[in-house]
Structure 1
Amino acid sequence: MDVPHESSLPAGLRWINRYATLDEVFYTRVRPQGLPEPRWVATSDAAAQALGWPTDWWANAEALAVFSGHALWPGMDALATVYSGHQFGVWAGQLGDGRAVWLGELLTPHGSMEVQLKGSGKTPYSRMGDGRAVLRSSIREFLCSEAMHALGLPTTRALCLVASPLPVLRETVETAAIVTRLAPSFVRFGHFEHFCHHGQPQALRRLADFVIDHHLPECRDQPHPYAALLETVVRRTAELVAQWQAVGFCHGVLNTDNMSILGLTIDYGPFGFLDAYDPAHICNHSDTQGRYSYHRQPQIALWNLHALAQALMPLIEDTDLALAALETFRSVYPQAWMRLMRAKLGLRSQEEGDAELIDDWLSLLARDRVDHTLAWRRLGRFSVDATDGAGPVRELFTDRQAFEAWASRYRQRLLRESSHDAERRAAMDRVNPKYILRNHLAEIAIRKAQAGDDDEVRRLLRVLQRPYDEQPEHEAYAALPPEWAQSIEVSCSS
């Protein structure tokens, strides 16, 4: 990146800071603790455009000071919020923004957007932590936030990433970094759990009214607004998790304090995308019991929604209403998942046997541990006419006979709806990505950045922002992971 200069940010940034208008029982005003000797690692042009900012906003002489925690722009109102939650299924008590500082809420051309620093030092909720984030995990969060957005999944965004030589002790001594995150709201299930658990019904009601009035106004006109709030969150969460499963994303630490009230993917810690398809895959090295394994994510999401429902019961009051809202998950999730699976298979119509066809395909992937992303992408090259129309995808399987039996059924299914290869391939390429943030790609970028070379982070970001395009010049980023990738471990330490 070039030497900073006076670039032109939008005239008169409109900070509306609605969360700061709540009582201070919801937060504590704090100041970020600046990183020494900060440097820009990367910025997201796409995230800047979502704010209505020019792509060279970061070159403003004050920008690095603000987003490394040394200064605030006029209109910012820095604070850290309090929440509680269940971690690994156990009540953890009070948590809160232990290393995040909320800078304020902007009015943008695309609606309101909250701005938050992650890794900007201690807050009253840091407990025994240092309030910092390390470069390793910050690169992963920065890249995955923007990659998920490009994939079309609801997510928090990442505006920029700043690094520093400041030493931070985790398992080893690492260096510090700050990610600037964006979201319409950072309110979590745990915010509601906090006020319910601590016997603060007025604060609980104020928070629920705040979320409804500012983010989910359609709930206000319902006969039971708080039950409608719960049902809306259930629907959004069910849709979100179905999208995770479809793209092979594993969150890794689905605690209730890591669940967004708006149905966004939030808190990128020990996440991972599937390489070899394994329904029982555990991406978090700290998850020794496999609570948050890939195939359990829908079940855990529903468990977390029950915790949210329990927190909202002082407002809903009627158990039957709460249970009816929760029951929505059992219809919305399978419907969303089936819709996504049909699209990934290139099916335009519905048939009774589709569920079995999908299950058998996934069983084939699991049996041969076939690469999840490559298999779906290559399936788009399947031809109903050619003599060897399954060639590109067949070679991924060792049990060729089992694959051929399934491919015959798939071909007949496509023929029944008069599917055309070119049209189907184009449609499948729009939903089956070629490029995902594989662990080894992130690891290469991390190692280079730790050595002072940030170019790979920026290059990888550009690739991931076009996940469905062919990008022949970046073919290596879509290849099978190398053998050493199997030894990569990610954990809750960041």
Structure 2
Amino acid sequence: MTADDLPLRNSFAQLPPAFYTRLIPTPLPAPYFVAASGPAAALVGLDVRELENDDFLALFSGNRVAARSEPLAAVYSGHQFGVWAGQLGDGRAILLGDLATANGPMELQLKGSGKTPYSRMGDGRAVLRSSIREFLCSEAMAALGIPTTRALVLTGSNQPVIRETIETASVVTRMSPSFVRFGSFEHWHSRNKPDELRVLADYVIDNFYPELGTGPERYAKLLREVTQRTAQLIAQWQAVGFMHGVMNTDNMSILGLTLDYGPFGFMEAFDPDHICNHTDSHGRYSYANQPPVGHWNCYALANALLPLIGKVEDAQQALDVYQPAFTKKIDELLHAKLGLATNEEGDRELLDETFKLMQDNHADFTLFFRRLGALQVDAPEHDAPLRDLFIDRAGFDAWAVRYRERLRREHSVDTVRREHMMRTNPKYILRNYLAQVAIERAQNDDFSEVRKLLSVLEHPYDDQPENDAYAALPPDWASHLEVSCSS
């Protein structure tokens, strides 16, 4: 297959011209191939091996336009760190079109493909460092079973890009059924453009929520569905220790997907107040704040959709599903993480005690739950690997007694419970230091670690004993790593 053979459609391009600007990507000088995702390629019927050839390298670096592509940059607005930021838009991303798949359309988008009318003061480029992080985390999250946009191909260039230091340029080819955001609706509401607001809502419903019907109540139903999906998504983030870092309304997907990987992080030493984004000086997007901020963002979406919904009461009723949906999902996930197959009245207290013990001892989030799966109900003498994660050994022992009592009450069988917990609690996550090692090697023209890390993260629940080093506690130097909004 060649790039011109891609059966691209352009459904978003069929919207009125006010929704986007048509433009050609800015070529990337002397592009080179860094990595490609086999699972992502399979979703759109591509052979991952073909993505290394010159034809696709040119396409996915912005150096050529496929025959059926109608490239464009979309406009949107949004709240950033809780403050209205006005018009934003695709400042460094260009949509190539969408491909039909067995599960519906999948849009292809180049991130880092040059200036657009929405770049504001930006250069329209992405740097290799942040592109590697987004590429790896998109695919890692998918492998964890968490709804997310995908990353197909990563290309680079020696073109210099100025951030805090001089770095080099890169392009990530991202995939999603749609890149429409909460901020896409806020944009038209803020400009008092009800006709455009309705056109966008109808486009989203007709293409992605057809089950919502055709009547006027469809807009309240849309808000309800998006609110529920958002609540469930954030519950999944919390359960795996993922922190988005920039939960602005322009980074919230109307499909309930994890969107825009910037200064993200995975929890290591457990601290609910941990802030993964160095730029977030007030901690708005800390781990503990993600659930309420998700709710706040849904309120912003509700306000934008209110002209279509009509009644405040109907919008509020749609929003009211957030907390029950989040509570139900996080309770389900945490029970699974602890290997509990039943529900008891005192389980909330046990969960609270678990996280307090982890917080007091700064226990590693991922290792704790993974090793917990090996606990034997009647053999506390084998607890050492788990117990060693805690400074307060007596505190752990007291907690373990209560946990074992809970397991006995439901007649939990060690082998059965372990099997379920190994499929629930990942062994491998994208720790910051692992990404940093891959980045530093790539900056020296060695992309083998990016590809190796990708292969490990594609199977996060498998033991992979040959890759045990990728599941180890972070080294001391990792505590000094900082990730900010700069990319």
Matches within 5 A, 1:47-62: 47-62=40-55
Q: Residue 58 of structure 2 corresponds to which residue in structure 1? A: 65
2:67 is the counterpart of 1:74: yes
Query: Counterparts of 2:163 and 2:97 in 1: how far apart (Å)?
Result: 30
Aligned counterpart in structure 2 of residue 279 of structure 1, from 251, 272, 282 = 272
Q: Which amino acid aligns with 2:286?
A: S
Q: Residue 141 of structure 2 corresponds to which residue in structure 1? A: 148
- Confirm or deny: 8 A CA contact 2:151 2:172 kept in the other structure: yes
Q: Secondary structure of the residue that 1:351 maps to in structure 2?
A: coil
- Confirm or deny: 8 A CA contact 1:373 1:433 kept in the other structure: yes
- Confirm or deny: 8 A CA contact 1:249 1:271 kept in the other structure: yes
Shift in alpha-carbon separation, 1:222–1:228, aligned structure 2, 3 A:
farther
- Confirm or deny: 8 A CA contact 1:381 1:392 kept in the other structure: no
2:449 is the counterpart of 1:456: yes
Offset, 1:401? 1.3
Aligned counterpart in structure 2 of residue 238 of structure 1, from 231, 255, 271 = 231
2:447 is the counterpart of 1:433: no
Offset, 1:111? 1.9
- Confirm or deny: 8 A CA contact 2:370 2:427 kept in the other structure: yes
- Confirm or deny: 8 A CA contact 2:3 2:56 kept in the other structure: no
Offset, 1:385? 1.9
2:327 is the counterpart of 1:348: no
- Confirm or deny: 8 A CA contact 2:33 2:52 kept in the other structure: no
Offset, 1:61? 3.6
Query: Counterparts of 2:52 and 2:84 in 1: how far apart (Å)?
Result: 44
Q: Residue 318 of structure 1 corresponds to which residue in structure 2? A: 311
Aligned counterpart in structure 1 of residue 300 of structure 2, from 307, 326, 342 = 307
Query: Counterparts of 1:287 and 1:437 in 2: how far apart (Å)?
Result: 21
Offset, 1:13? 3.1
Report which stretch shifted further, 52-61 or 34-43.
Answer: 52-61
Q: Which amino acid aligns with 1:401?
A: A
Offset, 1:394? 1.1
Offset, 1:26? 0.3
Q: Map Cα deviations across residues 207-231 of structure 1 (whole Å, 9 max, x no partner).
A: 0000000001111257710000000
- Confirm or deny: 8 A CA contact 1:382 1:392 kept in the other structure: no
Offset, 1:488? 0.4
2:155 is the counterpart of 1:162: yes
Query: Counterparts of 1:397 and 1:12 in 2: how far apart (Å)?
Result: 57
Q: Map Cα deviations across residues 29-88 of structure 1 (whole Å, 9 max, x no partner).
A: 010001101100000011001111112121444111101101011111100000000000
Q: Residue 4 of structure 1 corresponds to which residue in structure 2? A: none
Q: Secondary structure of the residue that 1:382 maps to in structure 2?
A: coil
Query: Counterparts of 1:253 and 1:76 in 2: how far apart (Å)?
Result: 31
Query: Counterparts of 1:59 and 1:67 in 2: how far apart (Å)?
Result: 10
Query: Counterparts of 2:354 and 2:215 in 1: how far apart (Å)?
Result: 42
2:278 is the counterpart of 1:291: no
Q: Map Cα deviations across residues 323-367 of structure 1 (whole Å, 9 max, x no partner).
A: 111111011001100000000011111111111111100000000
Structure 2 runs not aligned, ≥5 long: none
Q: Residue 19 of structure 1 corresponds to which residue in structure 2? A: 12
- Percent identical residues: 59
2:184 is the counterpart of 1:185: no
* Structure 1: 4+ residue segments shifted above 6 A: none
Query: Counterparts of 1:108 and 1:155 in 2: how far apart (Å)?
Result: 17
Q: Secondary structure of the residue that 1:80 maps to in structure 2?
A: strand
Aligned counterpart in structure 1 of residue 26 of structure 2, from 33, 49, 53 = 33
Q: Secondary structure of the residue that 2:100 maps to in structure 1?
A: strand
Query: Counterparts of 2:184 and 2:330 in 1: how far apart (Å)?
Result: 29
2:463 is the counterpart of 1:470: yes
Normalising by the residue count of structure 2, what TM-score does the alignment of the two structures yield?
A: 0.98
Q: Residue 199 of structure 1 corresponds to which residue in structure 2? A: 192
Query: Counterparts of 2:300 and 2:134 in 1: how far apart (Å)?
Result: 26
Q: Which amino acid aligns with 1:311?
A: A
2:166 is the counterpart of 1:173: yes
Q: Secondary structure of the residue that 1:103 maps to in structure 2?
A: strand
Query: Counterparts of 2:422 and 2:71 in 1: how far apart (Å)?
Result: 43
- Confirm or deny: 8 A CA contact 1:276 1:371 kept in the other structure: yes
Q: Secondary structure of the residue that 1:456 maps to in structure 2?
A: helix
Shift in alpha-carbon separation, 1:387–1:253, aligned structure 2, 3 A:
closer
Query: Counterparts of 1:61 and 1:281 in 2: how far apart (Å)?
Result: 43
- Confirm or deny: 8 A CA contact 2:3 2:59 kept in the other structure: no
Offset, 1:374? 0.3
- Confirm or deny: 8 A CA contact 1:51 1:110 kept in the other structure: no
Q: Which amino acid aligns with 2:18?
A: V
Q: Which amino acid aligns with 1:125?
A: Y
Query: Counterparts of 1:467 and 1:70 in 2: how far apart (Å)?
Result: 35
Offset, 1:165? 0.4
Query: Counterparts of 1:431 and 1:267 in 2: how far apart (Å)?
Result: 25
- Confirm or deny: 8 A CA contact 1:222 1:228 kept in the other structure: no
- Confirm or deny: 8 A CA contact 1:379 1:392 kept in the other structure: no
Equivalent pairs counted in the alignment come to 487
Query: Counterparts of 1:98 and 1:232 in 2: how far apart (Å)?
Result: 29
Report which stretch shifted further, 335-344 or 213-222.
Answer: 213-222
Q: Which amino acid aligns with 1:238?
A: A
RMSD: 1.2
Query: Counterparts of 1:222 and 1:290 in 2: how far apart (Å)?
Result: 42
Q: Which amino acid aligns with 2:173?
A: T
Offset, 1:14? 2.5
Report which stretch shifted further, 462-471 or 108-117.
Answer: 108-117
2:383 is the counterpart of 1:390: yes
- Confirm or deny: 8 A CA contact 2:6 2:66 kept in the other structure: no
- Confirm or deny: 8 A CA contact 2:2 2:55 kept in the other structure: no
Q: Map Cα deviations across residues 135-171 of structure 1 (whole Å, 9 max, x no partner).
A: 0000000000000000000000000100000000011
Q: Map Cα deviations across residues 448-475 of structure 1 (whole Å, 9 max, x no partner).
A: 0001100000000000000000001111
Query: Counterparts of 2:202 and 2:449 in 1: how far apart (Å)?
Result: 44
Q: Which amino acid aligns with 1:239?
A: Q
Q: Secondary structure of the residue that 1:145 maps to in structure 2?
A: helix
Q: Which amino acid aligns with 2:95?
A: W
Q: Secondary structure of the residue that 1:262 maps to in structure 2?
A: coil
Q: Which amino acid aligns with 1:436?
A: I
2:258 is the counterpart of 1:265: yes
Offset, 1:10? 9.9
Q: Residue 435 of structure 2 corresponds to which residue in structure 1? A: 442
- Confirm or deny: 8 A CA contact 1:390 1:407 kept in the other structure: no
Q: Residue 102 of structure 1 corresponds to which residue in structure 2? A: 95
Q: Secondary structure of the residue that 1:385 maps to in structure 2?
A: coil
Query: Counterparts of 1:59 and 1:269 in 2: how far apart (Å)?
Result: 26
- Confirm or deny: 8 A CA contact 1:252 1:269 kept in the other structure: yes
